[in-house]
Amino acid sequence: MSAFGIICVIVVIAALLAAPPKKRRGGARRQTAVKPVTVARLSASSSPIGAGGDDFNSRIERQFGDSIDKGFFHSVAGVSFSNDDGVSRQSLVLKCKHFDRIGLVREPNNPHGSTAVAVVNAAGQKLGYLHHANSLEIAPQIDAHREWFGVVSQVFEGLAGDPAALIVYLMRVKREPVIDLFEEGLKKRLGNRYDLRFRAELQKAHGANADGSDRQKLIAGCNEFDLLGLEQLPPDKEALNAIWVTNVAGQRLGALEPRAASEIRPQMDAGRIWGAMVREKKTTPCGRSINLVLCVYRIKV
């Protein structure tokens, strides 16, 4: 090939290399960000939950195997909010390390439900909450003095504005086979006729009823394991979810605490049957006032 021909070939190759690539039909391909792992996605998918692997499971078995009788993975809810002291839960979640111990704290006065269970770190700072379905199971057990705790399994850092997610492994401590007198009495009275129960307080335990009966005297006549009734009031008469607690004669002893009433009233309106039982009778230190601690239960359908 002549020198002129070689120069022409070099020029053509240089021009081809300098030319921009042709666009594909439909325009250039866009790069899409990987969708971050969020609490919602973790709740809907089982794949990330077992990510602790054999090492995690072996460590659980090695450290706690003989002392626990139940355990499961759980994605913590409410991690995107701040605590009452202004500390961001996201900052606390991101400080969590693999296998950090976490605790469960009951919040019976939580405005969102009397079965609320908070998840806290070793310093007692709130990381979030158990999901409602799990708190319905665990809250009554904590009230009955069953011990629950957990360890951090995974922390997923949030991407593209999504919050970080926290996965914990919750465990229930074994207890010695001691006789729980209230549990035994509850079984004797109700058998297996209930599917949900929790502890509740009695309010408005003072004053006289329309029939002239004194509520304090009626409460004084109550005994542990007495079965009580729950009377719904029309929403326009008192609070929207008002429920009165009555004795077997239908006399009012007081009102169910508002947060417990707000949880069960919609179910009662929908036809579910709820009842109550005297769990404990309490007297104030001065001995001038008596009140009741109740076990509120739902009858199986």
> Residue 297, Cβ neighbours under 10 Å: how many?
23
Please report how many Cα atoms fall inside a 13 Å half-sphere around the Cα of residue 288, on the Cβ side. 1
Please, are residues 56 and 48 in contact by the beta-carbon 8 Å criterion?
A: no
Identify the domain containing residue 111 by its residue range: 39-173
pLDDT at position 176: 66
> Are residue 189 and residue 213 in the same domain, yes or no?
yes
Domain end marker among 113, 144, 173: 173
pLDDT at position 2: 53
210-255: pLDDT as tens digits: 999 999 999 999 999 999 999 987 765 556 678 999 999 999 999 9
Beta bridge partners of 227: 277
Distance CA 183, CA 176 (A): 15
> Are residue 169 and residue 207 in the same domain, yes or no?
no
- Identity of the residue numbered 203: Q
Please, are residues 247 and 226 in contact by the beta-carbon 8 Å criterion?
A: yes
Distance CA 12, CA 100 (A): 65
> Is 9 a domain residue?
no
Please, are residues 119 and 127 in contact by the beta-carbon 8 Å criterion?
A: yes
Chain centroid offset of residue 184 CA: 27
> Are residue 110 and residue 221 in the same domain, yes or no?
no
Helix (H, G, I), strand (E, B) or coil at 141: helix
Q: What is the mean pLDDT of each run of 10 residues along the chain (301 residues)?
A: 49 47 40 33 36 72 84 95 95 93 93 94 93 94 90 87 92 74 84 88 92 95 94 69 92 90 88 93 79 92 85
- The strand order across the sheet containing 148-156 reads 68-75, 165-173, 148-156, 101-107, 116-120, 126-129
Tell if the pTM clears 0.85, that is, is over it: no
> Are residue 262 and residue 229 in the same domain, yes or no?
yes
pLDDT at position 276: 95
Domain end marker among 142, 173, 204: 173
DSSP letter, residue 206: S
> Are residue 165 and residue 236 in the same domain, yes or no?
no
> Is 20 a domain residue?
no
pLDDT at position 94: 94
